[in-house]
Amino acid sequence: MSRRSRLRRHQSKHTAGRVVIGGVAALLALTVLLAGGGTAVAIGLAASWLTDLPSVSDPSAFAVAQTTKIYSADGKLLANLFLENRQVVPLANISPFLQHAVVSVEDERFYKHNGFDTVGIVRAAFTNLAAGGVEEGASTITQQIVRNTVLSAERTEISYKRKVREAYLAYELEKVMSKDEILSMYLNTVYYGEGAYGAESAALTYFNKHAKDLTVAEAALLAGLPQQPSRLSPYENLEGAVARRQWVLKKMQENGYIDEAQYEEAKVEEVKLERAPNMNEEGVYAAPYFVAYVKKVLQDEFGTSLVFKGGLKVYTSLDTKMQTLAEKSVRNVLNLKTDPDAALVAIDPLTGNIKALVGGRDWKTNKFNFATQARRQPGSSFKMFTLVTALESGMPPRRMLDSSSPATIQTGGKPWVVSNAEGGGGKGYITLQAATVGSVNTAYARLAKELSPEKIVKTAKRMGITTHLEPYLSITLGSQEVTPLEMASAYGTLANQGKHFPPTAVTKVEDAGGKTIFEANPEGSQAISKEVAYAAVSIMKGVITGGTATRANIGRPAAGKTGTTQDYRDAWFVGFTPQLVCSVWMGYTPERPMRNVHGRKVFGGTWPAQIWHDFMGAALKNEPKLNFKSAASPKYTWKSEWDIPITQIPKVVGIAEAGAIAALEKAKFVPEITYAYSPTVLKGRVISQTPAAGSKAKPGDTVTLVISKGPDPNAPPPPPPPPPDTTSTPPATSTP
C-alpha cells in the first residue's frame, strides 16, 4: 500500500478524543506525576490539550524545503538556490552507518516503540523531578519530525501541553508511515550545521562526498552534530566534534550496529574535512549575473517559495564555454581597477537562447546586473531602428540625405540643434548608406523628422525593445535608455532574416519529483520582412569593413553599429553574424565621462568594439564562416518629395576660390580643392573644374577644383625674343 493510500485510509480516524490508548495513557499518567494532580483531572486536562490538532494525513504537512539546482545547457551545475541547503535523497542513498548512528544516539528504541517511548518518558520524568525542571527530554525520532513539521509553530514552547500533543501526533503518524519512511524523513530534515540540512548536504559540506559513501567514522561524526551543530562544527571545534564522534561510535557498538574491530578502526580514523566547491557560499558556482537573472525569471513565474524551497531542477540556455570567453574578453580589455563597468550579452538569433551574459566586471564588489537591469542611453546604436524604418518606408540605400552640420530641426517648440560627433562632420548630401556607415548625426536627425519618431518607436518594439519609449525626435540618436539584453535581442532580428525570438534563459524546469512543469517552446514572429532585414544588414556590414567599427572586424561576414552618448558617458557596439549576436556596453556608475580609459576617449568603435571582436572571434573560432542569407531588394518607393533632381554643375573657372566654393555649395555640390602653379591664371582663381561646367550630377556629388598658386617661382625664365631679321626685303606697298 502506498504512503498516500495509507494516509487517505487514516484521514477520517484521527480525533482528539481518542486519548486513552496504552502509550498515551502512560504519558498522561506521567503528566499527573509531574503536575502533582489527580488522575481524573490530569486526563481531562490532557484531553483539552488534544484539541485543534493538525492532521498527519496530509503529505504536504511534512514537506521540507529542498535545494533548487540550476544547470547550464551543457550540463554544468551553475548554482544551488535555497533557504535551507537541503538535497532530499531516498533512504537507499544514505549510508546504513549513518542510519544506525542516528538511531543509536537519537532514539535507540526506535524500532520498538509506536511513536513515543514510554520507558524514555518515565526515565526523563524522574530526571526532571529531581532537577526541579525540564532537564531531559524523551523525544523520539518520530516526535522530532512532528515538532519540526506539523507542530513547527509550537516548537519554541517548553510545556507539557506541547509534549502531549507531540506524542499523540507521533503515535498517529506511525500508523500511516513505516519506520523506514520516518527515518528517511528525519535524515533529510535535520540540521547538521554550516548551513547544511539533511544527510546529503551534510556529507557534501563536511566531506565532499555523497551520503551513501560515508565511512563508519564519518557517519558517527555527522550523527553527533544535530545536538549542538554550531558548537560542535568540526571546522570550528574539531576536538569537540571528535569527542562526540567517539561517544556515538560507542553507542553504535553497544547497540550491535558495528563490531569491535569496526569500532577500534573508526576511533582512530583521521578526520579529513573537505567542503564541496562553494557549497554554502551564496549557492552560486559560475556565471553569477546570469544566475541572478534566472532567479528573477523563476520567481516571476513560480513564486519565491517554490523556487527556494521546492527542489526544482532548472535547465538553462547558457553555454559555459562561451560564458568563460565572454568574461575573459571583458576582463582582458578592462583590466584596471579604475576602468568603467561593462556588460556583454550573446544570443543565438535563431532561438533567442542567451548563450553568455556578463553583467559587470566584478560580482563580488557590485551585484547590480548591468546586462539586464541597467537602462542606459544607446547612442547611435539606436540608429539601426531608424534605418529599418526608412527601408520599410520605401527609401533605398542610395537615398540622399543632407548631412551638413549643424542641423536645425523644427519641433513646434524650441528647435532641436544637432551636430555631428562620432562619425565626424557631414558635408552636403550623402546617401543613407554613407550616413549609416559614418554614423552621421545630422543626416539621421533630419531623417527622423521626415519619418516621424512614432514609426521608429513601433519598429523598435516589433524588433525586441521592451522598455517604454517616448516618440521624441532625439530617439534616433539613442537618447532613451534601454538594456544590453534588449539591444542584443533586437539586433538578432536582423541576423535571423527579420524574425524575432524573445530572449530565453530558462529552457526547462522539473519539480522535486522529476515532473516537467515548464518547457520553453520558442515561437518567433516576423517582425520585419526578409527583404528589409537583408538590406539593413548589407548597409551595416560597412560599419565594420570601413566605418566606425573597423576594430570589430573578425574576418567573417558580420554587421553592427556603434554608439556613443553625449560627453562619452556610454559607449556601445552591437553586432552579429548569422549564428550569434552580441551587445557590449561600457560606462561608469555614477555616470561620468570616459575621457581617459587606457589613455583615450571611449567611442563605441574603441573598447566596446574591441571586446566584441575578442569574444566573437573566440566564440566562433571553430564555426563555419556563414554568409547572411540573401533576399530580394525591398520595393523602394522613390517618392517625388524624396527625390533629389539632377542639376547642372555651374561654371566656376576663372573666378576666385571663395566665390567658386560658395557657388558650388549653393548648388548642393561638395567642392574638393587642389592647388597648382599657373603662369597664365591669377593666384587664387580656378584653373579648371572636374566635371566640367554644364555636366549633370546629383547634389552631394564632388566637384574637384584646381586653384592657381600663380607662376612657379622655381620655373626657368622664358627665353628672350629672337632679334629682328635685317636681310629680309621690305614688303611691297600697294598703290591705289
Task: For residue 324, give the nearest of 152, 583, 70, 74 by alpha carbon.
Answer: 74
Which of 258-272, 362-376, 413-427, 661-675 has the weakest average pLDDT? 413-427
Beta strands (DSSP E) in 288-340 are 313-316
Beta bridge partners of 316: 506
Domain boundaries for CATH 1.10.3810.10 within the chain: 3-267
Q: What is the pLDDT of residue 120?
A: 67
Examine the pLDDT at 203 and tell me if it is beyond 80: yes
Residues 6+ apart with CB under 8 A from 433: 397, 398, 539, 542
Residue 319 has pLDDT above 60, yes or no: yes
Residue 646 has what pLDDT? 73
Question: What is the reported pLDDT for 122?
Answer: 65
**Residue 630 banded pLDDT, cuts 50, 70, 90:** very high
**Sequence-separated (6 or more) residues with CB below 8 Å from residue 411:** 473
Please tell me the predicted confidence (pLDDT) of residue 644: 57
- Long-range contacts, stretch 207-210, CB < 8 angstroms, 24+ apart: 207/272, 207/273, 207/274, 208/274, 208/275, 208/276, 210/89, 210/93
Residue 25: pLDDT band by 50, 70, 90 thresholds?
Answer: very low
**49-53, 220-224, 571-575, range with the lowest pLDDT:** 49-53
726 versus 103: the higher-pLDDT residue is 103
Q: What is the pLDDT of residue 149?
A: 81
Looking at every residue in the chain, the average pLDDT score rounds to 87
What separation, in Å, do the N-terminal and C-terminal C-alpha atoms of the chain show? Answer: 154
Kind of pairing between the strands at 313-316 and 506-510: antiparallel
Q: Sorting pLDDT into bands at 50, 70 and 90, what band is 49?
A: confident
Confidence of residue 157 (pLDDT cuts 50, 70, 90): low
How many other β-carbons are positioned within 10 Å of the β-carbon of residue 538?
16
Q: pLDDT at residue 312 above 60?
A: yes
The residue with greater pLDDT, 273 or 150, is 273
Residues labelled as active-site residues: 106, 380
> Is pLDDT above 50 for 641?
no
**What percent of the chain is modeled with pLDDT above 90?**
66
Q: 69 — phi, psi (to 5°)?
A: -115, 135
Which carries the bigger pLDDT value, residue 320 or residue 84?
320
Interval 420-432: pLDDT, tens: 875 445 567 889 9
Burial zone of 633 (CB within 10 Å; 0-12 exposed, 13-18 middle, 19+ buried): middle
Work out whether the CA dihedral 447, 449, 452, 454 comes out positive or negative.
positive
Q: DSSP per residue over 583-614, as a string? A: EEEEE-SS------BTTB---TTTHHHHHHHH
Range list of H helices, 208-281:
216-223, 238-254, 260-267
Mean pLDDT for the stretch of residues 586-612: 96
Mean pLDDT (whole number) for 657-662: 94
Write down the pLDDT at residue 11.
34
Residues 80 and 282: beta-carbon distance below 8 Å: no
> 3-267 has which CATH code?
1.10.3810.10
pLDDT classification of 271: cutoffs 50, 70, 90: very high
Span(s) in the chain for CATH 3.30.10.20: 647-708
Compute the average pLDDT of residues 508-532. Answer: 95
Fold that domain 647-708 belongs to in CATH: Trypsin Inhibitor V; Chain A (3.30.10)
Dihedrals phi, psi of 482, to nearest 5 degrees: -140, 175
What is the structure's pLDDT at 63? 79
pLDDT value at 590 more than 80:
yes
Judged by average pLDDT, the poorest of 438-442, 523-527, 588-592, 666-670 is 666-670
- pLDDT tens-place string over residues 288-297: 999 999 999 9
User: Where is average pLDDT lowest: 52-66, 98-112, 140-154, 318-332?
Assistant: 52-66
pLDDT at position 385 over 60:
yes
| DSSP H or E run through 703 | strand 702-708
**DSSP structure string for 462-523:** HHT--S-----GGGGGT-S-B-HHHHHHHHHHHHTTTEE---B-EEEEE-TTS-EEEE----
Highest mean pLDDT among 37-46, 362-371, 479-488: 479-488
Give residue for cell 551638413. Answer: 404
Does residue 491 have a pLDDT over 70?
yes
Work out the average pLDDT over 515-528. Answer: 95
Answer whether residue 194 shows pLDDT above 50.
Answer: yes
Please report the beta strands in 237-393, taking only residues with DSSP state E, as ranges in sequence order.
313-316, 341-347, 354-358
Q: For residue 9, what pLDDT is reported? A: 38
Instruction: Say whether pLDDT at 734 is over 50.
Output: no
Q: Amino acid letter at 45? A: L
Residue 28 pLDDT: 46
pLDDT value, residue 420: 85
Cell 517548553 belongs to: 158
